[in-house]
Chain A
Amino acid sequence: MEHNKYIRELIDKYLEGATSLKEEETLRDYFQGEKIPEEWKVYQAMFRYFIDERQKTETKRRPLRSVRLWMPAVAAACVALFFGLKFLSPAPPRLSARSLIYIDGKKYTDIELIQTETLRALENLSDNEDNVYSSQVEALDLFFSNN
């Protein structure tokens, strides 16, 4: 009885627009129950309508809030992936200052040795009995004359 009296006071305050948030919550919780006096059924319908509308609004808002939360995370992940690919992938080869030669896996920087072995490699190309260079010139002449 005391509780019903309290609820009655809250209803009157609500209708006057004087209830606090906590008091409105008390009313909503009360009217979500089943044992409501007949004369208050109309208030129950009203509060239940408000509850439904609130839930719908929260459901609509939730995806947008979720999206707003993970959008910066996705953007950050894309940026991190881009920089990761840039820095972890092998960089395009650049001409080094010093020439190098590896013989049987051992590194040397002696210029004369490097030049000698470079000449040897170039000579290997022309040692072929078909004579790579002159055949190449003939092939190129044919290529350019046909194009």
Chain B
Amino acid sequence: MDTVKRMMLTMGFLLACFSAGAQTNLNIGAIFDEYGKQKGSILIELGKDVLGNHTNIKRYKSLIMPSDTATLRMTEEAMARDIKDGRKLLESRKDGTLESASYCLTKDKKSPEYEYLLFSNQSNRMTLIYVKGNFAPNRLEDELYKLKNLFIKINNKQIKL
């Protein structure tokens, strides 16, 4: 009977370990999924063709969408859940409403990569950017500037927005 109990406990423990590793999605992913393909939204996901070996950014995903009180609240709540023990790099509010922010999410000690969330809300348009790369928070600004310059350089002309 002791052998049986031991086996059952071992199986249950192994199952719990494997199960814990099975799900690693961010809460902010739900915002991208929910609003990314709606009318008025612009969803971008950069692939190897753009990022390649030109930058230390390994994943880039951005969403520009119309914002209202509900979507702003949902986005802020999702970001708060993903930040957990991460770092608030910048946060700016106006009349209690989040206007701009940048966060570094909790880093996996086994991985050299950092994850960032960047947020801006202007004129009822919200911009949400997810970036992942093997660079520390003090290099974030440089990497984003490099990304911008990369596009201008590839096009060989100044892009007018």
Contacts and interface: CB of A to CB of B under 8 A. Distances in A.
Given A89-B23, A99-B49, A124-B64, A105 B37 contact: yes
Nearest to B99: A128
A115 B140 contact: no
Nearest to A106: B37
A102 B65 CA distance: 11
A contact residues, range: 35 or more
Interface string B49-71: 11100000011101010000000
A111 B49 contact: yes
A140 B89 contact: yes
Contact of A121 (B7, B64, B137): B64
Interface residues of B, number: 61
Contacts, number: 162
A93 to B, nearest CB: 7
Contact of A95 (B48, B87, B129): B48
A101 to B, nearest CB: 5
A86 B147 contact: no
Interface in B21-63: 22-25, 36-51, 58-60, 62
A92 B113 CA distance: 14
A59 interface: no
A105 B38 CA distance: 5
B41 A120 contact: no
Nearest to A88: B22
Contacts of B97: none
Given A124-B125, A136-B89, A136-B102, A119 B151 contact: yes
Contacts of B18: 82, 85-86
A48 B111 CA distance: 72
A35 interface: no
Contacts of B64: 117, 120-121, 124
A99 B89 CA distance: 28
Closest 3 CB pairs of A and B: A115-B151, A124-B127, A105-B37
Interface of B: 1, 4, 7-8, 11-12, 14-15, 18-19, 22-25, 36-51, 58-60, 62, 64, 87, 89-90, 92, 99-100, 102, 118, 120, 122, 125, 127, 129, 137-138, 140-141, 144, 147-148, 151-152, 154-155, 159, 161
Interface of A: 67, 71, 74-75, 78, 81-82, 85-86, 89-90, 92-93, 95-105, 111-112, 114-125, 127-128, 130, 132-133, 135-137, 139-140, 143-144
11 contacts: A95-B58, A96-B45, A98-B48, A101-B45, A104-B39, A104-B40, A116-B161, A118-B46, A127-B120, A128-B99, A143-B87
